[in-house]
């Protein structure tokens, strides 16, 4: 069975736990086995956790789940762009797919709830499709 890992940002833990449940359900549908779930403090730590996982021989792909809300400064936007750039680089370096389930950057509170399930499921489906 194809083995994947999921990295979860814990800053919005309640919402991300729900996303993780949707991801687990989608992995079952896609016939993927989630062997590792790693929680990190926030989006900035996602690339390091992904790098540690995706370079392992026993991991075929990974997904990341998180939320980057809109703040009063451009910090979230800059951070989100840097994180997403590194995720793209990790895919190219390893040849392994990483499903992006990060809502934002710039997510307003009203954007979060309706995106939890579709983003989580799409992140897992992207892995399956790219494998």
Q: Please give the pLDDT value at position 106.
A: 84
Q: Catalytic residues, which ones? A: 75
Q: Please give the pLDDT value at position 32.
A: 98
Q: Which CATH class is domain 2-130?
A: alpha beta
Per-domain residue ranges for the chain?
A: 2-130
Where the chain has pLDDT below 70, the residues are none
Q: Please give the pLDDT value at position 12.
A: 92
Q: What is the rounded CA–CA span in Å between residue 23 and residue 122?
A: 9
Q: Please give the pLDDT value at position 127.
A: 98
Contacts with 38 (C-beta within 8 Å, 6 or more apart), sequence order: 5, 6, 7, 8, 49, 52, 53
């Amino acid at each position: 069975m194809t083995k994947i890992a999921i990295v979860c940002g814990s800053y919005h833990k309640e919402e991300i736990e729900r996303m993780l449940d949707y991801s687990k359900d989608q992995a079952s549908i896609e016939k993927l086995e989630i062997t590792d779930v790693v929680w990190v403090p926030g989006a900035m730590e996602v690339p390091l956790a992904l790098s540690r996982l995706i370079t392992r021989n026993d991991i075929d792909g990974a997904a990341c789940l998180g939320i980057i809300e809109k703040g009063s400064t451009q910090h979230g936007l800059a951070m989100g762009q840097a994180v997403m750039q590194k995720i793209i680089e990790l895919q190219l370096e390893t040849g392994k797919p990483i499903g992006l389930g990060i809502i934002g950057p710039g997510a307003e509170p009203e954007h979060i709830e309706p995106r939890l399930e579709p983003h989580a499921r799409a992140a897992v489906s992207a892995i399956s499709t790219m494998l």
